[in-house]
Structure 1
Amino acid sequence: MINFRAKGPLNDSENLSLLQLHSFNDELNANNTSNLARITVPDRSYADALHNSNVQKQHPPVFSHELPFDGSITDQKDSGICWIFASLNVLRRGIMEKYNLDDLELSQPYLFYYDKLEKANWFLENILATLDQDIESPDVQGLLSSPNPDGGHWHMFVALIEKYGVVPKHIYPETFHTSHSSLELADLLGSRLREHAMIFRNAHAMGATVEDLRKRKHDVLKEIHRIVSISAKSPPERFTWIFKDKDGKLNEFKDITPLEFYKQHVRFDCTQTVGLMNDPRKEYMRSYQPDYVGNVVGAPRVIFINVPMSIIRQCALKSIKDGCAATFGLDEHSLYSKATGMRALDITEYEAAFDIKSHMSKAERLQYKAGGASHIMCLVGAHIEDGQVIRWKAENSRGSAQDNNGYSTITDEWFEEHVYLFHVKRSYVPEHVLDVLNRDVTPIPCNDYSLRIPY
């Protein structure tokens, strides 16, 4: 009998030997710098133990161009809907200015509720579209790996708010499961959708047509609706918005729908925006669309124009100087001090403690899945000296206890290396860049790190 073996190491004799470990340990013990690091590092986070205070002193949280705002810092807690939080943080600023408000938070769980329902329908329609593919095909496996993720892109936010509108948060507040969706709800929805995908595929193999299965989809969506409505409560169809402004003046808008609230009170046309990306591996001045990424069936698809960081920087500055916040996708945990909010290439002294220094380029980090947009934040300021951007200010959605009272200071060097996505008004984007949208779109796999879904 032929003995087949699973793929594995090139040579089983090349194991890690005790002799090697003893040699490594002797060398470590003989190094005074390493011995000092062994005293200071074990009981503290790297960011705290190896914090480079000189970098922080060089970049104080002072900005030459800063959007005025006194509202509260939002907190997404244990959910992965940073994209909804950051996007609503952009929108609420205009409402607060329009009505002279001290504070206003728009309901993230309201859009979360509908996003879960829409993503269930999106997933099932994609399962129907791939019925004839083998279960092990990359497309099917990609769909099954994340049937109903919390994460999303700006385009998906626009699809939701244009269809469902939005409400103030006190009208539709958090429940445990909206603010802690990553703990239980995501797993429950994922397991149910995977099982229904199996049922659909098995039925198709037995002769059921797509039309037959689409009729069954109604009952699946009813089940998902039941789970989400019990976990998050049903959102309002109509409500009354009553509030006092900074001067104590009472305002009241009676019996309005969430869509009317969005159309009448939000000063931001979400449809007049564009998504930019920076992936040095791909051709610049081309648009890219990830396979199977979206939420609302029939809405405009997720499309990004790949541009050099110089164009993203140019568009970001135009937005800030014009008094408009914008959302951007970044590598959240790379070279970051949670306690101070600093994001700088040398904010954590890994080289001093471990004698290591990364030489990977941005393109190589994407290629080897060592970098990419994992989080969405709100850009609200910049500091310019002698015509050059020195640092940026960003509003996070991790609560006021994190970062510098909820705000992050980002050096321009870090911005260059670890920002991958930017969403901005079309009016701030050069015409020759917008013209790219009139050309053919290049599809990319949904697991490509340049457009992976941020959480």
Structure 2
Amino acid sequence: SESFNADPKNRMVQNAAHSLDFTTLITNREVMIADNHVFNTKIPIESMVTNQKSSGRCWIFAALNVFRVEVMKKYNLEEFELSQGYLFFWDKFEKSNWFLECMIDLRDRDVNDRVVQHLLKEPVNDGGQWDMLVNLVERYGVVPKALYPESFSSSSSGKLNNLVISKLRDHAVVLRRMAALGRSVEELRAEKDKCLKEIYNILAITLGEPPKKSFTWSFRNKDKKYFEFQNVTPQSYFRDHVGYPVADTISIVNDPRNKTMELYTVQYLGNISGGHPIRYVNAPIDDLKALAIKKLSSGKPVWFGADVGKYLHRDAGILDPKVFQYDLAFNISFNMTKAERLIHGESLMTHAMVFTGVHLDEHGKPVRWRVENSWGDVGGDKGYLTMSDAWFSEFVYQVVLEKAITPKKYLDVLEKEVHVLPAYDPMGALA
């Protein structure tokens, strides 16, 4: 068009973008320099970055990266991993049961009901929430990765998910058909159990049966000292060797659409039937920052959830709203608030990671944050990312803290009446 060609810059950028990733052209050099990987507050123990590969298990990886610090500290280990595949197995199994229970609960609703369709769209996936992690660890414990290593389908879960989802939808039809014929809930649950046996077999074949009996854990630490622990179960391993107070934790979220210092949950969101419900304490974003700084300053990592796809320079490992200068190439700007992005489908929590450091200015205000990701050691600082404080404000949604270090005003919110968000609410997104 005449208006396009009237600006010679458009033609120059067009020629360059024809052969290059356009984000390369608009990368902000000043941001790349400012968002360096140096921090004045950092936890004393870090380990090699883990790799979730082609799976959506970030929430499990992030939690186990928090837990492993306790084991490394206790036994003076150089490197260590807990089995992500072990919790993945049981999460997939329990989510299958959760979905079928939801189908039984919703048996009288029209199949085109919005909630029914929301659940049928994705009966299970790899993602999860912190309270789901609590449920899994309390019931199943954890094991070292050497006891339950990765399989092809844990590292590349797409085909496994498709198989499980197809089986669950197939059984949802059976349950709804039985309900329409007036069968009792007891009969529906008996039918559900048949499906769960098939799901277990699918998981056992593709992932391997998880250890159920006691095992021996042996290793050498950094000083070459040999350790051996016998008759260990997954539950006793978590209790005796990890010792993280997983049940005494609290999720603080920043959802600017809703009132702060109130308690929220999401309908039909969970993994273990009868387990802990998903519960969020909503707070201002500056509260999340202050709480994260408090925990990092005590030398402990922080599990958090965010929308990682926004303004991410993957090679440099930088998260910053100014890392790409869209205005220079396209003469455009983005003006939505955080609340407006949630409301209009532009943003939600997509990924869980771990804070291991923060850089504070002379007034104690955060400038940038050090992030332990789970995408392997390529990019950033051997897989660690740098997040600007401005990015934290706009795209971090949740931090998790131990209740023992959480101010009372947040704990008091847990006693309030809970506000139930619909199943399809963006705060029900799984990291």
- What is the TM-score when the length of structure 2 is the normalising length? 0.97
Whole-Å Cα distance in 2 between the matches of residues 447 and 376 of structure 1? 20
Match of 2:243 in 1: 267
Match of 1:90 in 2: 66
Aligned counterpart for 1:146 among listed residues 106, 110, 122: 122
Q: Residue 266 of structure 2 contacts residue 427 of structure 2 at CA under 8 Å; is this kept in 1?
A: no
Whole-Å Cα distance in 2 between the matches of residues 221 and 432 of structure 1? 42
Aligned counterpart for 1:409 among listed residues 366, 372, 386: 386
- CA shift for structure 1 position 450: 2.6
Match of 2:97 in 1: 121
- CA shift for structure 1 position 254: 1.5
Match of 2:187 in 1: 212
Whole-Å Cα distance in 1 between the matches of residues 104 and 129 of structure 2? 23
**Structure 1: where are the runs of 5+ without partners?**
1-24
Match of 1:11 in 2: none
Q: Residue 48 of structure 1 contacts residue 337 of structure 1 at CA under 8 Å; is this kept in 2?
A: no
Whole-Å Cα distance in 2 between the matches of residues 144 and 297 of structure 1? 18
Match of 1:326 in 2: 302
Write the letter of the residue equivalent to 2:177: N
Correspondences of 1:15-414 after superposition (within 5 Å)? 25-181=1-157, 183-237=158-212, 238-386=214-362, 387-414=364-391
Matching of residue 439 in structure 1 with residue 416 in structure 2: yes
Aligned partner of residue 257 in structure 2, secondary structure? coil
Match of 1:8 in 2: none
Whole-Å Cα distance in 2 between the matches of residues 339 and 42 of structure 1? 21
Write the letter of the residue equivalent to 1:81: R
Whole-Å Cα distance in 2 between the matches of residues 382 and 93 of structure 1? 18
* CA deviations over 1:157-211 (Å, ceiling 9, x no partner): 1110111111111111111101111x20111111110110011101111121111
- CA shift for structure 1 position 406: 0.9
Indicate the larger mover: 419-428 or 224-233: 419-428
Aligned partner of residue 403 in structure 1, secondary structure? coil
Whole-Å Cα distance in 2 between the matches of residues 197 and 219 of structure 1? 12
Q: Residue 329 of structure 1 contacts residue 420 of structure 1 at CA under 8 Å; is this kept in 2?
A: yes
Runs of 4+ in 1 over 6 A off after TM superposition: none
Indicate the larger mover: 28-37 or 369-378: 28-37
Indicate the larger mover: 69-78 or 294-303: 69-78
Q: Residue 446 of structure 1 contacts residue 452 of structure 1 at CA under 8 Å; is this kept in 2?
A: no
Whole-Å Cα distance in 2 between the matches of residues 52 and 156 of structure 1? 39
- CA shift for structure 1 position 45: 3.0
- CA shift for structure 1 position 38: 1.3
* CA deviations over 1:379-398 (Å, ceiling 9, x no partner): 11000012211111110000
Identity %: 38
Q: Residue 269 of structure 2 contacts residue 428 of structure 2 at CA under 8 Å; is this kept in 1?
A: no
Whole-Å Cα distance in 2 between the matches of residues 300 and 369 of structure 1? 28
Whole-Å Cα distance in 2 between the matches of residues 269 and 46 of structure 1? 46
* Larger Cα-atom Rg: 1
Whole-Å Cα distance in 2 between the matches of residues 121 and 331 of structure 1? 28
- CA shift for structure 1 position 112: 0.2
- CA shift for structure 1 position 70: 4.6
Whole-Å Cα distance in 2 between the matches of residues 235 and 47 of structure 1? 44
Query: How many pairs are equivalent?
Result: 429
* CA deviations over 1:391-432 (Å, ceiling 9, x no partner): 111100000013331111011111001111111112332211
Match of 1:7 in 2: none
Aligned partner of residue 150 in structure 2, secondary structure? coil
- CA shift for structure 1 position 294: 0.7
Whole-Å Cα distance in 2 between the matches of residues 68 and 26 of structure 1? 60
Aligned partner of residue 312 in structure 2, secondary structure? coil
Whole-Å Cα distance in 1 between the matches of residues 412 and 21 of structure 2? 47
Output the aligned Cα RMSD: 1.1
Indicate the larger mover: 31-40 or 168-177: 31-40
Match of 1:428 in 2: 405
Whole-Å Cα distance in 2 between the matches of residues 45 and 91 of structure 1? 38
Q: Residue 278 of structure 1 contacts residue 420 of structure 1 at CA under 8 Å; is this kept in 2?
A: yes
Q: Residue 97 of structure 2 contacts residue 196 of structure 2 at CA under 8 Å; is this kept in 1?
A: yes
Match of 1:13 in 2: none
Whole-Å Cα distance in 1 between the matches of residues 259 and 337 of structure 2? 16
* CA deviations over 1:290-316 (Å, ceiling 9, x no partner): 011110111110010111001101110
- What is the TM-score when the length of structure 1 is the normalising length? 0.92
Match of 2:429 in 1: 452
* CA deviations over 1:341-374 (Å, ceiling 9, x no partner): 1111110111111111101000100000101111
- CA shift for structure 1 position 40: 2.5
Write the letter of the residue equivalent to 1:229: A
Whole-Å Cα distance in 2 between the matches of residues 105 and 135 of structure 1? 43
